[in-house]
Amino acid sequence: MQPDLAIDPLVERVTRLDIWFGRVDPEPLLGGITNKNFVVCDRGKKYVVRTGGDILVHGVVRANELAATRAAHAAGISPAVLHAEPGIMVIDFIEGRTFTPDDVRNAANFDRLVDLVRRCHRDVALHLRGPAPMFWPFHVIRDYAHTLREGGSRHHALLPDLLARAQALEVAVGPIDVVFGHNDLLAANILDDGTKLWLLDWEYAGFNSPLFDLGGLASNSEMPAEMAETLVSAYFQRPVDDALRRQAAAMTSASLLRETLWAMVSEIHSTVDFDYAAYTAENLARFDASYARYKTMERT
């Protein structure tokens, strides 16, 4: 049975925001697996209303997301923020088509994707205000493991092995260049308006290695290994040598492990209607395959 949106307190709160010129009728924006979001039409213009408070088990701090979104807009790669208050952020609605993994793997989009990632890493930090958030995936993985143990996760027996593999990957990544990363490069967070690409949803944004976004973009859209290496080469504008190849492979595996543990934590903490158990199983299998490829590369 579908909930009656007319009596949903969250919908009512969105309806009563004082930025609207008249009565509005929020429509749920489908597809999110973390937050409840809405599209609102007011005086012939559309807006997206993102809702939700801090999610500390995932390291999500809305003040950081707001600062990153504003900085990304100033850098020209994300919609403008029109209004923000605790638990609510209203941004411009961009008419366009949400990318799919097929779009990410499409060679016709390759140059635009590389440019988008490079602009994120190069330009957003120039406009960022306030504290500098850090997103180090290996810290995130370790913190998730603590949360899973404390929450009595059904996956607790897997943690010693997963953490041991994470430690090996962190050593393999080694010293890093630091950029301002998006850190959640799912195809669904990329929008094509027909002229340019936009990058959405800055919940996990923070300073990180560029290899994490490159690995996440490749792994989340299941790029073949040759294409993923071409992505790294195009980003750094040089051929990929053995050292960079191993670093990139290690960080790609880490991105899949982080996504796996994100799903495990969501199984016990999220209230969003989504099959997190299936998402855990999918990402764990992909991590195992990626880690096996990395170990083969390490031995050669």
Q: Where are the domains of the chain?
A: 5-92, 97-299
What confidence score (pLDDT) does residue 30 get? 77
Q: How far apart are CA 82 and CA 92, in angstroms?
A: 7
The answer, yes or no, to whether residue 288 has pLDDT greater than 70, is: yes
Query: What residues contact 169, with CB distance under 8 A and at least 6 apart?
Result: 138, 250, 251, 253, 254, 257, 291, 294
Q: Which percentage of the chain shows pLDDT scores above 90?
A: 91
How large is the angle between the packed helices 210-220 and 242-269, nearest 10 degrees?
70
Q: What is the pLDDT of residues 160-201, one digit of tens each?
A: 999 999 999 999 999 999 999 999 999 999 999 999 999 999
Q: How far apart are CA 139 and CA 298, in angstroms?
A: 23
Q: Read off φ and ψ for residue 135, nearest 5 degrees.
A: -120, 95
The answer, yes or no, to whether residue 83 has pLDDT greater than 90, is: yes
On whether the CB atoms of residues 111 and 72 are closer than 8 A, the answer is no
Q: What is the pLDDT of residues 236-271, one digit of tens each?
A: 999 999 999 999 999 999 999 999 999 999 999 998
What confidence score (pLDDT) does residue 128 get? 98
Q: How far apart are CA 295 and CA 300, in angstroms?
A: 9
Q: How sure is the predictor about 1, in pLDDT bands with cuts at 50, 70 and 90?
A: very low
> Under CATH, what is the fold of the domain 5-92?
Phosphorylase Kinase; domain 1 (3.30.200)
Q: Which CATH class is domain 97-299?
A: alpha beta
Q: Is-same-fold flag (5-92; 97-299)?
A: no
Average pLDDT of the chain, as a whole number: 94
Q: How far apart are CA 182 and CA 20, in angstroms?
A: 30
The answer, yes or no, to whether residue 5 has pLDDT greater than 80, is: no
Q: Read off φ and ψ for residue 206, nearest 5 degrees.
A: 170, 170
The CA radius of gyration of the chain, in Å to the nearest whole number, is 20
Return the higher-pLDDT residue of 7 and 60.
60
What confidence score (pLDDT) does residue 7 get? 64
Q: What is the mean pLDDT of residues 113-118?
A: 98
On whether the CB atoms of residues 197 and 112 are closer than 8 A, the answer is yes
Q: How far apart are CA 230 and CA 239, in angstroms?
A: 9
Q: How far apart are CA 180 and CA 133, in angstroms?
A: 9
Placement of tokens 């929020």 in the chain: 26
Return the higher-pLDDT residue of 299 and 165.
165
